[in-house]
A and B are shown apart, each in its own frame.
Chain A
Amino acid sequence: GAGVSQSPSNKVTEKGKDVELRCDPISGHTALYWYRQSLGQGLEFLIYFQGNSAPDKSGLPSDRFSAERTGGSVSTLTIQRTQQEDSAVYLCASSPLGGGNSPLHFGNGTRLTVT
């Protein structure tokens, strides 16, 4: 079946502009995650959605970052007034249940470059 789909695969934007990154999870997966991967770094947790529950936003680095998940499926990560330090690969993952023993299924990521 289809895996996690992210778009765009690459995004170049000017400092100060807003960007939207899209994630289409695997059908039926209730849990959805966003991670950020900076050059030479591990994965930094950003936000977690589970079903219709309120998301856990504890990893969002600033109030310029927000995310929503419509209808328990597609998710959009929005970064307002982008800064150069926002340049990174943004990875989306989904899992069937979202519990600790539920492995993550990752998309190929969106590489964001802020000039």
Chain B
Amino acid sequence: AQSVTQPDIHITVSEGASLELRCNYSYGATPYLFWYVQSPGQGLQLLLKYFSGDTLVQGIKGFEAEFKRSQSSFNLRKPSVHWSDAAEYFCAVNTGGFKTIFGAGTRLFVKA
């Protein structure tokens, strides 16, 4: 069965520092890959997605993610974190059907 692993339950970074959130998936082929962000009391908002082509994808709010087939990874990055980026981040995969599978999430804390 397909699965998504986000190994970090929470991460703390200083404002202005760089950020990388890890995501690994288990699937025999390349799935559709997504990153969503959830602010407190809100639903999930799509940050970016990868379907095919260029393995480095750009998203909203200055985020980017890189697909690495050899590592079955789709890590999310941001060069300089802002306090407003504090939220929970979910990696998700879809293998072509209707069901999107989500990781357990990584909560990002930003310190001044």
Contact = CB atoms under 8 A, between A and B. Distances in A.
Interface of A: 4, 31, 33, 35, 40-43, 45, 48, 50, 56, 91, 93, 98-101, 103-109
Contacts of B34: 103
Contact of B103 (A4, A42, A106): A42
A50 B43 contact: no
B49 A103 contact: yes
B28 interface: no
Interface string B84-112: 00000010001111111111110000000
A104 B46 contact: yes
B49 A42 contact: no
Contacts of B43: 4, 91, 93, 106-109
B83 interface: no
B90 A101 contact: no
B97 A100 contact: yes
A28 to B, nearest CB: 17
A106 B94 contact: no
B96 A106 contact: no
Given A42-B105, A101-B32, A103-B34, A50 B98 contact: yes
23 contacts: A31-B98, A33-B100, A41-B104, A42-B103, A42-B104, A43-B90, A45-B99, A56-B98, A91-B43, A91-B44, A93-B44, A99-B96, A100-B32, A100-B94, A100-B95, A100-B98, A101-B32, A101-B94, A106-B43, A106-B45, A108-B42, A109-B42, A109-B43
A43 to B, nearest CB: 4
